[in-house]
Amino acid sequence: ANAPVNVTITGAAGNIGYALLFRIASGALLGPDQRVNLRLLEIPPAVKAAEGTAMELFDSAFPTLGSIDIFDDPKKAFEGANIAFLVGSMPRKAGMERADLLSANGGIFGPQGEALNAGAAEDIKVLVVGNPANTNALIAASHAKDIPASRFTAMTRLDHNRALAQLAAKTGAHVSELDKVTVWGNHSTTQYPDLTHATVKGQAIPEILADRAWVEDDFIPTVAKRGAAIIEARGASSAASAASAAIDHVRDWCLGVKDYSWTSSSIMSEGQYGVPEGIISSFPCTCENGEWKVVEGLEIDDFSRARIDASAAELLDEKNAVASMGLI
Ligand code: NAI
């Protein structure tokens, strides 16, 4: 058998943590033949709740679960980590100033980046889920000088999955019959879910793309504002679907993109498609040997251009704000 893979999860006692831990432990991340050791990081007041979740994980007797350890110190939690899910953060609350939001997250993701740099395994892969995810990932990356920036990613896979689900509902096809959907930009309402290259059962979808009212007034806002719709319906933010998307993202990263041409992943821009270098933005991506690769050569029409530019501008703005606060 392979050596166990060490997986660190921050915010482990939260809602997403509760859904995520059991899927990782049960083999959904790396398959039935790979044992995982879980390393849970929480803030001191939530350690007891994490211990309760650990009791349930223990009681599940998963064949794929090695050990479970709980920490309140990032330095210890990231020691030897092969994979890190950074879920715990300070998301925006009503009335919160942007400067307060960014500085609170700088206080979390800066030290976590340093701790990853100090102790993570050579092959570390980091997925930031906690919002504002793209900029939090940038902060962590900037504090981990010895880890390639390509190892820090942010989650736009939930947006990608939501786009697939909406297109499936519209076409009557199954999600598994859809391909070449892309989410560009920031995990925020400026994101651009793009159907320009989408196929259904291998066929282009000109009639659907010609229905601009549906694409622009229904599909795009429904995907971009789905998080708020879930909060409205559930009285709590998306947790199980977010956990599921996090699994999809890291599984594709570790095992390769299979069964579809590409997916959407927020990775460090090298200037592809005119997205400024040095921001963590969502792109159409494949994965080879544990490295994300942007799908090159797609044609970008004027509508897409404007949307991609607008979301990139927002990311650049967030970057400039954290830079001016000395957080990166
Ligand atoms: P939650 O509030 O239920 O749990 C967050 C947990 O993080 C809490 O247990 C808290 O104690 C912990 N935490 C806070 N600061 C920490 C730190 N410095 N170190 C370790 N743990 C810390 O929130 P939930 O529902 O689990 O969501 C987590 C994050 O994921 C939020 O920021 C949310 O906005 C974001 N999110 C992102 C999505 C995406 O698509 N990228 C989708 C859904 C949620």
In this predicted model, what pLDDT tens digit does every residue of 177-213 receive, in sequence order? 999 999 999 999 999 999 999 999 999 999 999 999 9
Please indicate, yes or no, whether residues 119 and 237 belong to a single structural domain of this protein.
Answer: no
Total residue count of the chain as it appears in this document:
328
Q: Which of 94, 120, 154 is the last residue of a domain?
A: 154
Does the structure show a pLDDT above 80 at 1? no
CA of 302 to the centre of ligand 1 (A): 36
Cα–Cα dist 66/236, whole Å: 31
Q: Is 160 a catalytic residue?
A: no
* Token pair for 155: 């989650």
Nearest to 159 by CA among 234, 236, 221: 221
Write the pLDDT tens digit of every residue in 96-146: 888 889 999 999 999 999 999 999 999 999 999 999 999 999 999 999 999
Was 14 annotated as part of a binding site?
A: yes
The confidence score (pLDDT) of residue 131 equals 95
CA of 152 to the centre of ligand 1 (A): 17
Contact 78, 48 (CB under 8 A): no
Average pLDDT (9-23) is: 98
Average pLDDT (156-179) is: 98
Ligand 1 atom closest to the Cα of residue 16 is 26
Q: Which of 154, 187, 218 is the last residue of a domain?
A: 154
Q: Count of domains in the chain?
A: 2
Does the structure show a pLDDT above 80 at 168? yes
CA of 56 to the centre of ligand 1 (A): 20
Q: Which of 96, 128, 154 is the last residue of a domain?
A: 154
Portion of the chain with pLDDT greater than 70, in percent: 100
Please indicate, yes or no, whether residues 191 and 314 belong to a single structural domain of this protein.
Answer: yes
Please indicate, yes or no, whether residues 134 and 181 belong to a single structural domain of this protein.
Answer: no
Contact 108, 146 (CB under 8 A): no
Please indicate, yes or no, whether residues 113 and 197 belong to a single structural domain of this protein.
Answer: no
Please indicate, yes or no, whether residues 116 and 10 belong to a single structural domain of this protein.
Answer: yes
Please indicate, yes or no, whether residues 182 and 314 belong to a single structural domain of this protein.
Answer: yes
Does the structure show a pLDDT above 80 at 153? yes
Please indicate, yes or no, whether residues 78 and 135 belong to a single structural domain of this protein.
Answer: yes
Please indicate, yes or no, whether residues 83 and 15 belong to a single structural domain of this protein.
Answer: yes
Please indicate, yes or no, whether residues 101 and 176 belong to a single structural domain of this protein.
Answer: no
Contact 91, 61 (CB under 8 A): no
Please indicate, yes or no, whether residues 304 and 190 belong to a single structural domain of this protein.
Answer: yes
Rg (CA), the chain: 19
Was 251 annotated as part of a binding site?
A: no
3-state SS, residue 313: helix
Q: What CATH number does the domain containing 126 carry?
A: 3.40.50.720
How confident is residue 324, by pLDDT bands cut at 50, 70 and 90?
Answer: very high
3-state SS, residue 232: helix
Average pLDDT (57-63) is: 98
Q: What CATH number does the domain containing 201 carry?
A: 3.90.110.10
Three-state DSSP string of 167-206: HHHHHCCCHHHEECCEEEECCCCCCEEECCCCEECCEECH
Please indicate, yes or no, whether residues 66 and 164 belong to a single structural domain of this protein.
Answer: no
Q: Return the best residue to mutate from 87, 250, 265 for the ligand 1 pocket (most ligand atoms within 8 A of CB).
A: 87
- For ligand 1, atom 3, which residue shows the shortest CA distance? 14
Q: Which residues pair with residue 6 across a beta bridge?
A: 37
Write the pLDDT tens digit of every residue in 77-91: 999 999 999 999 988
Please indicate, yes or no, whether residues 167 and 248 belong to a single structural domain of this protein.
Answer: yes
Query: Range of 102's domain?
Result: 5-154
Ligand 1 atom closest to the Cα of residue 11 is 7
